[in-house]
Each structure stands twice: as C-alpha cells, then as structure tokens.
Amino acid sequence: MNRLITYFIFAVRIQHALSWALPHPPSIPQAQQQKPMFGAAYSPGSEDDDDYSDVDIVDRRQFQGSHTYANLPHVDCLSGAEAEKGQRYDIAILGAPFDTANCDGRYALLHIKTWADIGGDRPSPGGPGARYGPSGIRTGSQRIHGGDYSIYTGKSILDRWATIVDCGDAPLTWLDNKYALRQLDKAHRVVSGRKASNESHSVTPRIVTFGGDHTTTLSALRSVHQRWGPVSPHRRLNHATFLHIANEEHLISNTSIHAGTRGPIFRAPEDVRNDVRCGFAMIRARDLDKIGTDGVIRQIKDRVGDSKVYISVDIDVLDPAFAPATGTAEPGGWSTRELLTILDGLQGLSVVGADVVEVAPIYDNPGETTVLAAAEVTLSLIELMVENPVKSLADTI
C-alpha cells in the first residue's frame, strides 16, 4: 500500500512538472475539451481585456448577493414600499432577533424541544446569543438554492406554486422586552396582512419565523390566530412561560403535543400536570428508540388530527453533538436525520405557521453544524406549507 501511494504522488508531481515546463498539444480532441464555464476563453494581456460582453454579473450565485435565506429575494415587507408594488408573496421568512427574555378557532401546536423551558415561571438557564440566530440560519442556508432538487422527493420545493421571500428581521429593541414584543406582534400582523401572491390557494401569506429565544413564538401564535381566528390580550411572560400564556390567551387547542422532550423536571409532578392542563401530550426523546420515526409521526398525526397546526422547532431538540449552538443544550436528543425524517413525514398536516428558534451561533463549532441543521429544518417546514395550502378566515369572506 505504501509503495502504491508513493508512486501515485510521484507520478502526479512528474505530470504537473511536464505540463508546466514542456508545452504540448492536448491529448483530448478539441471538440471534446471542456468549454469555459462563463463566456469565451480569456487570455490575460490580450485585446479581450477590455471586452466584458461575455462576463456574467447578473445571474444569482449561492455565495454572493444579499444575505437571505436560501438566496431567496428580499422584500421590504414591513414598510410596505415593495410589498405594495406588486412584490407579493405566499410564504415569508421573518427574523426575530430577540433573546433578552432568556433571563428569564384554536390551533394544535407541535412543539419540538427539550423539557428545560416547558411550563412554570422558571427562566431558562441558557446563555444569551439567540438574537444572532436569524443571521446564523441564513448563513447556514447559502448552500440551498432555487432549482435544487431533493434526492428523496425529486422536487424543487422553492420553485413550486408559492412565491417565497425573505422579509429580513423585525427591528426589535433589546432595552425593553415588553416594547420589543409589541414590535414583533406588529411585524407579524403587517407581514401576514399583505395579500398573498397566489390567491387561488389563499389570500393570506404564511410566515416562517427565525428566533430569537422561544418567547418569539407567542407573537407568531397571535398572528396566526388573528388570521385564522380571534386572539386575546397580551399578558406577562418570559422565555419559560410563553406556552402557558398562549394557553391563557386561547391561542392553542387541547390537541397540542411536545415531541423530543427530555431533561430534568424541576417541579414534578406540578409541571407535568400543568402541561396536560394546557392541552399538551408528550413524546419523549427516548420514545423514538422504541417506536421509531414512523411511530413518532403516527402519534403526532393522531394527536393533532385535522386541526390547523403551528410547528415550533427549538433547535435544542437535537443532541448537542449535532446542534451545540443553543442556550439550553441537553444530552440525549435526536439526530438531525431523525428530526428531518419526522418533519418530512408530516405531509398532509394543515401547517399555518412555523418557526426555528434558540439558535445561538456564538456557541457553534467550526463546521457550523447547528446553523446548517436549522437551515435544513426550515426547508422541511417550507415544504410542508407548499405541499398543503391552507385557507384562512379571509378566504371565507
């Protein structure tokens, strides 16, 4: 084996030396040689130096241009200048760069996360940094591009009937939590209040939110409830209490479910009892070892039934081996592949909104596995929306 490797390296080096020192005609016929990727061949110092007619600077490439999710077009959805000039959309990406709560009809909520932030008034022990989650997820998505086809489905999900855009981030102050959440409430109302691009499916666009800590889900639930049903007033909350508040505001139904739950319970059995009172069933992380991904998918579908569904993915549902960049890392979580398989298996659910939260890029590793996973999870959420359009209240008027 060593002899073979040594010979290969020697042969490569000799070949490179000959190619550099001894010009010779190519061994491949001219007609079969590879053509230049962009435009005609270029020779430095020739008269072609000033001819840029064949130089392409228009076509979008994966690693240039505006920093948007999956290289999607950016639309100023908040001010309305672009959104009201024909730049309509069916699905919008909206960033919610907020993490200062980390100091900590109705809808079925599929809540995918650890136990660490569920129930009660206990603040999350996690560190700050999720305010940078939206930009981190966008960075992790640069490898995703319209025209890419899934090896599993054979479909290019970003090139279907839905116009999908990135609305950028809601401008949220970090000095006043209450005001910041009012800003996010309004941002959701404005973005979801635009007329959708393809009104034959629905006149109301749907939103995928990038957190931010999990508090940001409350504003999304309020917006969803407004477009698909009435909503109640705002009450006190922090990072650990948003689901309790959502239940008090009658934003979620008793067909909701946690999936991937693990970690210690600090107030047993009170927390579990309160969770049931708020309408949640539970699939624990290790249940997957017994029932498999098919069993998890089946339990979720049986639980939510034909309800309209909001899917909230806390990235800490993944094991820290796959997603270390979160404030509440907990060993024993699901793998990225398992989570994606479960999400893709939820085809047919009436998904009216979704989010990916608690991504804190400062804690990621050099390979950026967390933001890569979050970007891929987002693509699965978008696919669920595209595959099953959902009529809103405005469609019934």
**Average pLDDT estimate for 21-35:** 52
Asked if the structure places residue 305 within a domain, the reply is: yes
In this predicted structure, what is the pLDDT of residue 125? 43
Q: Which of 198-212, 238-252, 279-293 has the lowest mean pLDDT?
A: 238-252
In this predicted structure, what is the pLDDT of residue 109? 64
In this predicted structure, what is the pLDDT of residue 266? 76
Asked if the structure places residue 244 within a domain, the reply is: yes
In this predicted structure, what is the pLDDT of residue 383? 97
pLDDT digit string (tens) for 41-95? 545 555 555 666 665 555 555 555 568 999 999 998 988 665 566 689 999 999 9
**Average pLDDT estimate for 359-385:** 97
The rounded distance, in Å, linking the Cα atoms of 262 and 274 is: 17
The rounded distance, in Å, linking the Cα atoms of 317 and 335 is: 9
Asked if the structure places residue 120 within a domain, the reply is: yes
For 145, what's the count of Cα atoms within 13 Å in the CB-facing half-sphere? 10
In this predicted structure, what is the pLDDT of residue 74? 93
Alpha helices of 22-81 — where are they, by DSSP H?
none
Residue 239 has pLDDT above 50, yes or no: no
At position 127, the amino acid (one-letter code) is: G
The tally of domains found in the chain comes to 1
Beta-sheet strand order (sheet of 206-211)? 164-169, 91-96, 206-211, 350-357, 308-314, 108-112, 256-261, 280-284
Residue 277, domain CATH? 3.40.800.10
Q: What percent of the chain has pLDDT over 90?
A: 53
Asked if the structure places residue 55 within a domain, the reply is: no
In this predicted structure, what is the pLDDT of residue 271? 77
Q: Which of 40-49, 333-342, 369-378, 381-390 has the lowest mean pLDDT?
A: 40-49
Measured over all CA atoms, what is the biggest interatomic distance in the chain, rounded to whole angstroms? 81
Asked if the structure places residue 165 within a domain, the reply is: yes
In this predicted structure, what is the pLDDT of residue 45? 55
Rounded to a whole number of angstroms, the CA Rg of the chain reads: 25
Asked if the structure places residue 256 within a domain, the reply is: yes
Any residues with CB less than 8 A from the CB of 284 and at least 6 apart, and which? 260, 261, 262
Residue 24 has pLDDT above 80, yes or no: no
Residue 232 has pLDDT above 50, yes or no: no
User: Do the strands 350-357 and 308-314 form a parallel or antiparallel pair, or are they unpaired?
Assistant: parallel
Of 183, 11, 17, nearest to 97 (Cα)?
A: 183
Asked if the structure places residue 1 within a domain, the reply is: no
**Average pLDDT estimate for 111-122:** 48
In this predicted structure, what is the pLDDT of residue 86? 63
Q: How much of the chain is in helix, strand and coil states, percent to nearest 5?
A: 35, 15, 50
Q: Which of 139-148, 180-189, 229-238, 336-345 has the lowest mean pLDDT?
A: 229-238
Q: Indicate the pLDDT class of residue 23, thresholds 50, 70 and 90.
A: very low
Q: How many CB atoms lie within 10 A of CB 189?
A: 15
In this predicted structure, what is the pLDDT of residue 3? 46
User: In this structure, are residues 368 and 59 in contact, taking their beta carbons and an 8 Å threshold?
Assistant: no
Asked if the structure places residue 2 within a domain, the reply is: no
The domain in which residue 339 lies consists of 69-391
| 375 phi, psi to nearest 5 deg | -65, -40
In this predicted structure, what is the pLDDT of residue 87? 85
